[in-house]
Every structure is written in structure tokens, then in C-alpha cells.
Amino acid sequence: MSTTSQLAKRFREVLLDGKWIANTNFKDQLADVTWEQATTKIGSLNTIAMLTFHIDYYIAGLVNVFEGGDLEIRDQFSFDLPPVESQQQWEQLVNKLWNDAEKFASLLEQMPDSKMNEVFVDEKYGTYLRNIDGMIEHSYYHLGQITLIKKLLN
């Protein structure tokens, strides 16, 4: 199996369908979350909706680069979630995450392994491999937060 196929598989595991590392994934954790739960603030923690937006913000930003665009995302805007005031708006946010995640994985599978050692946009960001690994690790980090916030809400 190619490196890019393995990375795409790992990415899908954390977002869409895996159980190997955390015995859960984003899709499992968000499946039964209502918009009221997603927007409930507990102390100083981010909301589930905020974390969902945040992780999708970075995925969509990398997808844009994978498709030949510029790196347009900025950390300072990664938590700028528009208000979620209905179940429909929550479902739109979640569905955007699923669509962007699948697009990310599909584009990654199409990349040649040699791309992994190339500079990602600018040398200060390292290689494609570093950024893809970082996206997977970042996703697991926030998956853990969402899992704990759900437990606190229940």
C-alpha cells in the first residue's frame, strides 16, 4: 500500500469510520449530538460545534491547497464559528465536515508518494507529510475533547 493510501486510511479512521486508535471517530461521536448539545458551553471549554467548525476549517484549508489553491486559512480565524441556532444549521456544519474530510482523503489518495517530501506551500510549514500527519494528530486531539465534553453534557 502506498504512503498516501496509508495516510488517507488513517485520516478516514479518525474522522469517518475508524475504531483502531481511540475506539471511536468524529462520525460516531457527532451522530447523536443535537444542536442544543453542540452549542452548550461548559465552563471555559469550547463547544462541540466550535470544535467541529475548527477541525473542518483546517481540513478545508488543506483541501484548497491540494486542489492547487493558496493556503488561505489563518489560526486567528479558526474558531470564528457563525451562530448555530437550529438543528438544520448544526447538520449543515457536520455534513460539511464529512464532505471536506472525504474530499481530503480522496485527494490525498491521488497524490504520488513523492509529493510527501515536497515543501508544503512555504518552507516554514515543512513538508506535505508533516502537515498531513499534523492534521491527523490535531483531529485526534479534538476528538478526545469532544468525547469528554459529551460525557460532561450527559
- pTM for the whole structure: 0.96
Cell representation of residue 109:
489518495
Cell representation of residue 12:
478516514
Supply the mean pLDDT for the chain.
97
What pLDDT sits at residue 1?
83
The dihedrals phi and psi of 65, each to the nearest 5 degrees, come to: -70, -45
Average pLDDT over residues 107-135: 97
The residue among 120, 9, 5, 8 whose CA lies nearest residue 73 is 120
